[in-house]
Amino acid sequence: MKKILTLLFIGTVLFANAQTDSTKVKRQTKIEIGSEGVSIQVGKVDTNKTGKRYSKYPKVNFGFNFEHFDLGLSKYHNGSDFGFPDSYGFLDHEVWKTHTIGFDVLQFGVRFNSNFKIMLAAGLDWNHIRLKRNDITILADNPVLAYQEDPNLNLKKNRFSNRYLRVPLYFEFRSNESKSSKRFSFVAGPEVGFLIDGKLKQKSQNGERTKVKDNFNFEQFRYGANVRLGYGGAGLFFKYYFNDVFAKNEAPGLEGYKNMSFGLTFGF
Over range 202-214, report the average pLDDT: 94
- What is the pLDDT at residue 53? 52
- What is the pLDDT at residue 268? 86
- Confidence check: pLDDT of 33 > 60: no
Q: How far apart are the first and last CA of the chain?
A: 72
Residue 84 — pLDDT band, cuts 50, 70, 90? confident
Q: Give 117 or 52, the one with higher predicted confidence.
A: 117
- Averaged pLDDT of the chain: 85
Domains of the chain: 24-54 (no CATH), 57-266 (2.40.160)
Three-state secondary structure call for residue 20: helix
Q: Give 51 or 85, the one with higher predicted confidence.
A: 85
- Confidence check: pLDDT of 10 > 60: no
Please tell me the number of Cα atoms within 13 Å of 104 on its side-chain side.
24
Q: How many CB atoms lie within 10 A of CB 159?
A: 19
- What is the pLDDT at residue 129? 96
- Confidence check: pLDDT of 187 > 90: yes
Is 62 buried (19+), middle (13-18) or exposed (0-12) by CB count in 10 A? middle
Answer yes or no: are the C-beta atoms of 235 and 185 closer than 8 Å. Answer: yes
